[in-house]
């Protein structure tokens, strides 16, 4: 195994702890395969698309007690549904077309011996023409400039606690906390520093959604990188997982929507600023090489990668897989919106206008519009957590140098090859 492959594999193993829904799904006994009949996932508005359906067990066509299908635009209610009669395990669904850029999805559910098995296929219609529907507030950049100024008044005052059992002959591992926000709120993470004298590139690894324990990326650090893996909740990240499970079901349940009616109190204000301050800390280390600061993550972490790079000019390049928090209010305009899908079931309450206004200041699509550094993105068309309508529109809005890798069949997970390409591309900007 060459040195580059070892670094990538180490990075992937460490990232797995950050991405709770990033694992490739296990293969089931019965396979429901849905694919575009013409073999293409890319179409023009007005083209008609049909879907081939194949149901097999051990690769052999199998009988099912029922097979049902639905056709819908991305994350929208089904506009066509019905039952299928399989012939030699196969059938065809007439998918129709779209009249505007977006994604059309065919969902098939087959029942075999009382168990439901599902297959999806999603195809694009002029996806390159998609743009975010969220508008950038006129004072968006002033708002965030003021937040950054406020955050910078907080002493960063790092506190490091060596974790002897995690250290190796090449890497020192610390539980770290930083002053990042008002009222004494700190950001916590696991810092891995190469022991050998020298100056190294730095990688900030930002987490997927949830409440987690972190171990740190010792393997990547052992290959000549400073790595910092942070949490976002202002709590230590070295406790037992039982602590985080209790918080996830308790005080931090539904945290992505906390105080969404106030742009000053919304949960992600502290989160975004904590990421920025983590970069400030890494780039202040005497071991940092002064040039190469990278940020990477998936889902919520993909969102935080984009936000951090937009707010902190010290970032060199980023890797963002299926970013969340993109075009969140698009649901209010009849189009798929991004995780956490707060506006999917529209609530016409008295605070709706305030919630819409707040969301615009935190929408990742607006940060993407300000990117000045290279951005790698990758996602799949079957992702119903961070829908492709939102991620593709956000990618299209990025004005800086960028690279997109789409693996159409994937949902909210990634193959190792997507990381390999992203890592290689991101590191091509290392100086």
Catalytic residue among 43, 175, 212, 412: 412
CATH of the domain at 276: 3.40.50.1820
Catalytic residue among 261, 327, 363, 383: 383
DSSP per residue, 373-390:
S-EEEEE-TT-SSS-HHH
Active site residue 289: no
Question: pLDDT tens digits for 136-157?
Answer: 999 999 999 999 999 999 999 9
* Pairs from 154-158 (Cβ < 8 Å, separation ≥ 24): 154/179, 154/180, 154/181, 154/182, 154/277, 155/179, 156/180, 156/277, 156/280, 156/281, 156/284, 158/281
- Asked whether residue 270 falls in the same domain as residue 364, the answer is yes
Number of domains in the chain: 2
Question: pLDDT tens digits for 51-102?
Answer: 999 999 998 999 898 999 999 999 999 999 999 999 999 999 999 999 999 9
Q: In 3-state terms, what secondary structure has residue 345? A: coil
- Asked whether residue 271 falls in the same domain as residue 312, the answer is yes
Active site residue 333: no
pLDDT for the residue numbered 156: 95
Give residues with Cβ within 8 angstroms of 53, minimum separation 6.
Answer: 32, 33, 34, 67, 69, 84, 86, 90, 91, 92, 93, 108, 119
Q: Which of 288, 182, 158, 221 is nearest to 14 (CA)?
A: 221
Active site residue 383: yes
Supply the mean pLDDT for the chain: 93
pLDDT for the residue numbered 14: 46
Q: Which of 13, 1, 2, 3 is nearest to 419 (CA)?
A: 13
Distance CA 324, CA 246 (A): 24
- Provide the residue range defining the domain that includes 304: 3-24+131-427
The last residue of a domain, from among 96, 129, 162: 129
368 pLDDT above the threshold of 50:
yes
pLDDT for the residue numbered 19: 40
Give residues with Cβ within 8 angstroms of 246, minimum separation 6.
Answer: none
DSSP state at residue 301: H
Per-residue b/e over 285-316, b at no fewer than 16 CB within 10 Å?
A: beebbeebbbbbbbbbbbbbbbbbbbbbebbb
Rounded average pLDDT over 26-53: 95
The last residue of a domain, from among 66, 95, 129: 129
- Asked whether residue 212 falls in the same domain as residue 200, the answer is yes
DSSP per residue, 66-103:
EEEEEEEETTSPPSEEEE---BTTEEEEEEE--SSSEE
CA distances from 38 to 34, 46, 109, 233 (A): 12, 15, 22, 47
- Asked whether residue 176 falls in the same domain as residue 238, the answer is yes
- Asked whether residue 143 falls in the same domain as residue 224, the answer is yes
Catalytic residue among 299, 305, 327, 363: 299
Q: What is the largest CA-CA distance in the chain?
A: 69
CATH of the domain at 51: 2.60.40.1930
């Amino acid at each position: 195994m060459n040195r580059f492959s070892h670094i990538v594999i180490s990075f992937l193993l460490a990232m797995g702890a950050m991405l709770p829904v990033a694992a490739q799904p296990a293969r089931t006994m019965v396979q429901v395969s849905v694919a575009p009949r013409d073999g293409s996932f890319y179409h023009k508005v007005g083209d008609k698309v049909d879907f081939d359906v194949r149901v097999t067990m051990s690769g052999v066509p199998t009988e099912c007690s029922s097979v049902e299908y639905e056709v819908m635009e991305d994350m929208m209610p089904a506009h066509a549904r019905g039952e299928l009669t399989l012939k030699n395990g196969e059938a065809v669904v007439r998918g129709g077309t779209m009249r505007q850029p977006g994604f059309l999805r065919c969902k098939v559910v087959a029942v075999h011996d009382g168990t439901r098995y599902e297959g999806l296929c999603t195809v694009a219609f002029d996806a390159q023409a998609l743009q975010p529907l969220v508008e950038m507030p006129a004072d968006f950049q002033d708002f965030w400039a003021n937040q950054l100024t406020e955050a910078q008044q907080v002493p960063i005052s790092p506190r490091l606690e060596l974790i002897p059992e995690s250290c190796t002959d090449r890497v020192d591992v610390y539980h770290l906390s930083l002053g990042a926000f008002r009222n004494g709120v700190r950001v916590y993470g696991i810092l891995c520093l190469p022991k050998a004298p020298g100056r190294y590139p730095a990688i900030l690894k930002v987490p997927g959604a949830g409440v987690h324990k972190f171990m740190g990326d010792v393997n990547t650090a052992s290959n000549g990188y400073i790595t910092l893996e942070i949490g976002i909740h202002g709590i230590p990240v070295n406790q037992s997982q039982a602590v985080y499970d209790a918080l996830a079901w308790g005080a931090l349940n539904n945290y992505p929507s906390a105080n969404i009616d106030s742009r000053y109190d919304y949960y992600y204000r502290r989160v975004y600023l904590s990421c920025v301050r983590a970069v400030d800390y890494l780039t202040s280390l005497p071991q940092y090489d002064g040039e190469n600061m990278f940020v990477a993550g998936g889902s919520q972490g993909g969102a935080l990668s984009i936000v951090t790079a937009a707010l902190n000019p010290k970032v060199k390049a980023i890797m963002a897989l299926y970013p969340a928090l993109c075009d969140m209010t698009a649901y209010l305009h009849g189009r798929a919106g991004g995780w956490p899908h707060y506006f999917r079931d529209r609530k016409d309450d008295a605070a709706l206008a305030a919630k819409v206004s707040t969301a615009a200041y935190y929408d990742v699509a607006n940060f993407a519009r300000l990117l000045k550094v290279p951005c790698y993105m990758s996602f799949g068309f079957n992702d119903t957590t961070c829908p492709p309508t939102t991620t593709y529109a956000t990618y299209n809005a990025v004005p800086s140098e960028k690279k997109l890798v789409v693996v159409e069949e994937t949902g909210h997970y990634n193959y190792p090859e997507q990381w390999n390409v992203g890592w290689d591309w991101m590191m091509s900007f290392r100086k």
